[in-house]
Every structure is written in C-alpha cells, then in structure tokens.
Amino acid sequence: MRKLTLSTAETIISAAFEKAAELNLKPLTVAVLDAGGHAILLKRQDGSSIMRPQIATGKAIGALAVGTGTRWLNANAESRPHFVNALNGVSGGAIVPVPGGVLVKNDEGETLGAVGITGDTSDNDEACAVAGIAAASLVADCG
C-alpha cells in the first residue's frame, strides 16, 4: 500500500492553491492527513480567516471517519441528523460535515488519507481538493 508522503502532500496543496487562483477564490486552508488521521501537512494562504485550520482538519477527519467524502456526510446531516450528531459526539466534535473533505485513494481503491479544504464555498473547496489529488496522480473520493 502506497503511503502519503510529505512530498505528495506538498504536491496536493500546491495544485489545490493553483486551482484556487485559477477560480479566483478566497484564501484557502488545506489539511492533508494520513489514513490514521495524523496531519502530514497544513497550509494557510495569506488572509485565511481564524479557525480555518480546525475546519480543514475536521473535513478531512470526517471523510476518514465514514470512509467517503464529506459530501456524503452533508447529505446525511439533512436526511439523518441524529446520525451525524452522534458521529460528531463520539468524535469529540472533530467532524465538519460539509463538502470539502475528500478521501485520497490509490488505483486499487485503498484509502491513503484525506484532504480537507476550507475558505470559499464548500463546492469550490471540494473542487480544489479534487484538483490537488489528481495532480498527485491519486484518486479522489468525494462521497
């Protein structure tokens, strides 16, 4: 099983920031976590607002917790709020259940980690995560 390395995380974040510049987005914060939920790299663009590191990390943790991107969590927050509330409770409030948390997988479908991005709309955050993961020649699972 291939692991996410610091170099791969740097590629993901650089490409995510490039996509944000292309789309003229607000300043982003990006967290890359390994499959165990440990931070590999977190970067904030100049002007990124307060709490963005926690939000980006919470999106990535949410994706890892449910084994798919946080778009799935967002849908379940609407259809099954009791489930998402319970999940957030058992995680100690660590999960942010909105799009922008994307699983990173290899070609065999094994989860290598997750990327969480925040700073613009959730859809734009997710698009930047997908672009970053693709730049690293890995597979994105948005949920």
Within 10 Å of residue 109's Cβ, how many Cβ atoms? 8
Q: pLDDT at residue 139 above 70? A: yes
pLDDT at 1: 54
Q: Rounded to an integer, what distance in angstroms lies between the CA atom of residue 4 and that of residue 119? A: 23
Total domains in the chain come to: 1
Asked if residue 64 is part of any domain, the answer here is yes
Q: State the average pLDDT over residues 37-53.
A: 97
Q: State the average pLDDT over residues 84-107.
A: 96
pLDDT at 143: 87
Asked if residue 121 is part of any domain, the answer here is yes
Asked if residue 1 is part of any domain, the answer here is no
Counting Cβ atoms within 10 Å, is residue 51 exposed (0-12), middle (13-18) or buried (19+)? exposed
Instruction: Check: CB of residue 105 under 8 Å from CB of residue 129.
Output: no
**CATH number of the domain where residue 135 is located:** 3.30.450.150
Asked if residue 94 is part of any domain, the answer here is yes
Asked if residue 27 is part of any domain, the answer here is yes
